[in-house]
Structure 1
């Protein structure tokens, strides 16, 4: 990537074979409001600029990423499914692999990217977790898919990193979002949803807390991240809630050969 690009490294301790980073909006060729390293082809940007940005990204990774057609769902792209379906992009909001140098990627601009790695470095996952996917179980499905391709893998042997997402002081939601998480403990809900004064039925939601609780429930003890807010950091991050028309940044992970 160019000298103007900036990569965010996950704050976790994993096997030496695990490589991962998150891009920012810096270091690309797209013009406003997609300036500059927009990697999303469906954001409204000039496709030629996006492809040039993806070429810039490609210089920092060992292979073309496994781009997904994200739909805010819970489907997981696996090596077996990719083999049976042929060429992508695949309609899914998460992917897993145990194949060296196969690069997993999710695109976000307020939703939460979550990266997973087994502690011995033999299997990885990446999930796109907005409130719909998070409440629907995309994290659970990702871990399930990892364990299916590595049957001896226990949840306590998985590390997770929550990448840049909209922070709890800016994510305004309605009663429908609260209800979507109603199965989580009341103690978590009371902390994750703060009523907005003077706006009945409106809340500030904490995606990081909701995700951490679900990861805890799966038995994953090593959970990092949750340190950024895409909405309040326009210099580094795209934010759909802030700008409406904007680009997408990428979170990527692979097992080095």
Structure 2
């Protein structure tokens, strides 16, 4: 983790060999002005928080990134597989999508999460950056495959970083979730365990599920994945833990 001293934010800097023109950060719940139950760095405008506090939190994020507020490609995330292409021109429109990519400098692909998995991608030459909201529904539906296809680059030229999500020790799911993944990819059965789960349920490893999907696209440079939003209440918002809560942002852009 790194701390941005100019803004007071506590930010996570991805540990991956991204090209020098690619920047990425993930916020924590620390460093904002929102009050309980959104305390304090809530960036989600759809969770009941005071809109003025969300705007200030977003201003702080923009300042920490050295970007104008208009650079951020906020999405209306719907747990689907639609991908938005962020063009060079700024846009006030917030599309219904769960992933985005851009080849433009200064446009920031931005994902909000509070247990779902944020995935960011770039290519070895730094021509394109992308981000996906990979909760289990989007992940199972193929959001990563759709994003890689829309980026139009060979998988073996891409790298990915997996941000803070619900950990593999606590993500309990029903049998329908396991069945949905295994129906498409039988090898994903290894990402589910009955150990520690209620009868008839499973503990799922969303990081492993994402890695398998990325590897299926030829991506083998995969980093991150060592977080748990549920158990690390000091750093992270968690919908499963708290219900009404804030959202972190994972952001990637080119300079």
Q: Same fold (TM over 0.5)?
A: yes
Aligned residues of 1:71 and 1:91 also touching (Cα < 8 A): yes
Measure the CA separation in 2 of the matches of 1:103 and 1:116: 12
Structure 1 position 184, deviation (Å): 4.7
1:189-240 CA-partner distances (Å, limit 9, x unpaired): 1x21111568332111100000000101100010001010000100000000
Look up the SS of the partner of 1:213 in the other structure: helix
Gap change, CA 1:115 and 1:197, over 3 Å in 2:
closer
Which structure 2 residues correspond to residues 141-152 of structure 1 after superposition, within 5 A? 141-147=146-152
Measure the CA separation in 2 of the matches of 1:222 and 1:255: 19
Aligned residues of 1:115 and 1:253 also touching (Cα < 8 A): yes
Which structure 2 residues correspond to residues 1-257 of structure 1 after superposition, within 5 A? 2-61=6-65, 62-64=67-69, 65-79=72-86, 87-147=92-152, 153-189=153-189, 191-196=190-195, 199-256=198-255
Is there any run of 5+ residues in structure 1 with no aligned partner, and where? 148-152
Structure 1 position 25, deviation (Å): 0.3
Structure 1 position 183, deviation (Å): 3.1
Measure the CA separation in 2 of the matches of 1:119 and 1:245: 39
Measure the CA separation in 2 of the matches of 1:234 and 1:45: 19
Measure the CA separation in 1 of the matches of 2:198 and 2:84: 40
Look up the SS of the partner of 1:73 in the other structure: coil
Measure the CA separation in 2 of the matches of 1:243 and 1:79: 33
Aligned residues of 2:9 and 2:32 also touching (Cα < 8 A): yes
Tell me whether 47-56 or 231-240 shows the greater mean CA deviation. 47-56
1:66-122 CA-partner distances (Å, limit 9, x unpaired): 110000000000146x97xx6311110000000001011000000000000011000
Structure 1 position 60, deviation (Å): 1.9
CA RMSD after TM alignment = 1.8
Measure the CA separation in 1 of the matches of 2:200 and 2:182: 15
Q: How many residues align?
A: 248
Is there any run of 5+ residues in structure 2 with no aligned partner, and where? none
Aligned residues of 1:94 and 1:127 also touching (Cα < 8 A): yes
Partner of residue 150, structure 1: none
Look up the SS of the partner of 1:247 in the other structure: coil
Aligned residues of 2:42 and 2:247 also touching (Cα < 8 A): yes
Aligned residues of 1:112 and 1:129 also touching (Cα < 8 A): yes
Look up the SS of the partner of 1:181 in the other structure: helix
